[in-house]
Amino acid sequence: MDSTSGKIFLKNLPFRELLKISRERVKSHAEKELLDEELYLIKIRLLIVAISFVIVIGYYFKGQIQEAYTYFAILVLGIFILLGFRYLLSRFRDKVYVLSFTLIAIESAFITVILSLSAWYRDISGLNLSYAIFGILILLITASSMRGRFFISLVHATALVFSYIVSLGFAVLSGYPLDWSIQIARISILLVATLVSLVLAAKIEVYSSRSVHDFLTGVFNKRYLNEFLKIEVRRARRKGERFIFILLDIDNFKEINDLFGHLTGDLILKRFAEVIKENLRLSDLVARYGGEEFAIVMLDTTVERAWGRVKSIMYKIAIDEKITSLVNKCVTFCAGIAEWPTEGEEVETVIALADCRLLEAKKKGKRSIIGPDDRNYRISTKQMEAIYENVSTKSTPQDFSGIEN
C-alpha cells in the first residue's frame, strides 16, 4: 500500500468509530461464539504461562527454603494454577472475550512479576539486560493484532506497556540501577509496536467484517450464516438448548424492481433488513440468504415466541412509512419456520424444512407464515387495504388485531 492510499485508509477509520464497531461486536452473540481453533490457542497460551510462572517462581525462591520443599511447593503451585485455568476454560468456554481479557491480565501480571523480581533480587539479567523479556513483549504486542479485533488489541497492548512501566517503577523503589536512555528507547519501541499493532488490527477487522457482511444491507451473508449455524449446533447440544430457523421472502419483489427500478428495490432491501434487526434480540442473528430472501436464527426460544415475533415483524414492515413511500403500497413477505432439534438433528434438515414451508406459504397467495404443528397465518386483502389506509392517515393500530379481517 502506497503512502497516499495508506492516508486515505486511516482517514476513513476514525478512532471512535473503530471503538464503536469493536464494542458492538463484543456485545454481539455471534462474535462471542468461540471457534475451536481459538479455544485451542488459548489453552496453549494458558499452559505456557502456567509453566513459565512456576519455573520463574522456583528459580527465585529455590535458595530461600530447602530443596525438597521447593520442588514440592512448585508442584502444588503448578497444580493449583492448572486447576484455576481449567475452571476458567469450563466456566467461560463460550465467551471468547472473557477468556481473552482474562488471559491479557494474566500475561501482563506475569511480565510485571518477572521484571519486578529481577529488580528485587538484583538479577544481572534484569531490567537493563533482559532482551529476551523485551523481545517477548514486542512479540505479544504485535501478535495481538492477528486476532483482528481492534478493541482487544488496544487493551492487550496497553496492558503490556503498562506492565513494563509498573516494573520500572518497582525497580526505582527497590533501588535497582537503571540506564534511562535504554529504558526510554525501549518504551518508545513498545509504543511504536503498539501503533503498528492497532493499524494492522483495524485493517484486519474492517476486511474481516466486509467478508462476512452483505454489502448492500449490512446484515450477515450466507457464508457467515452457515458457519454460525455449525457453531451454534455444537453450543446448543452442550447446553441442551434449542433455536428457531426462519426464512423470509419479500412478496412481488421482481415486480417492484420492474416497475420502480433496481435502486428502489435496493432501498427496500436495506430498510427491510433494518426493520428486522430493530425487532430482534441482540442474541439473534439475521442474514441475507440470497436475492430478496433473509434468514433469522432465534436462539434459546420457543416456537410460540418466534411465531409472535415474525407476525410482529410483518406488521412493522407493512406499516413502515419509508417502505410504503417508495412504492405507494404496503410491502409484505412470506415466511417458513422450523425448530432445531425438535424437527431434525442436522441443521441441513431444519433449513430444508423451513424452505419447504416458505414455498408452501408463497403458493397460498403471499403474505403467509407457515410453521411447525401445522401453524399458518395469512393477511387478507381486506386487511392489507385497511393497513395502507391507516398508514396514509397515520392512524395505525399496534398490531393486526386492531384491523378487521
User: Which domains, and CATH codes, for the chain?
Assistant: 3-32+95-212 (no CATH), 222-402 (3.30.70.270)
Per the CB < 8 A criterion, the answer to whether 375 and 381 are in contact is: no
Q: Given this model, what pLDDT does residue 154 score?
A: 85
Per-residue pLDDT tens over the stretch 81-120: 666 666 666 666 556 666 667 777 777 777 777 777 666 6
Per-residue pLDDT tens over the stretch 350-386: 999 999 999 998 888 788 899 888 788 877 667 766 7
For residue 144, give the DSSP letter.
G
More confident: 124 or 298 = 298
Q: What is the largest CA-CA distance in the chain?
A: 91
Exposed/middle/buried for 125, CB within 10 Å: 0-12, 13-18, 19+?
exposed
**Rounded CA separation 159/105 (Å):** 7
Q: Given this model, what pLDDT does residue 365 score?
A: 78
**Rounded CA separation 111/204 (Å):** 27
Q: Name the packing angle between helices 131-143 and 180-212 (round to 10°).
A: 20
- Which residue shows C-alpha cell 505456557? 48
**Rounded CA separation 234/60 (Å):** 44
More confident: 45 or 383 = 383
Exposed/middle/buried for 150, CB within 10 Å: 0-12, 13-18, 19+?
buried
Q: C-alpha 69: how far from its chain's center?
A: 47
Residue 335 Cα distances to 123, 218, 357, angstroms = 70, 21, 7
Per-residue pLDDT tens over the stretch 189-226: 889 988 988 888 888 777 877 778 888 998 999 988 98
For residue 33, give the DSSP letter.
P
Per the CB < 8 A criterion, the answer to whether 264 and 270 are in contact is: no
Q: Given this model, what pLDDT does residue 55 score?
A: 64
The pTM assigned to this predicted structure is 0.66
Percent of the chain clearing pLDDT 70 (strictly above): 65
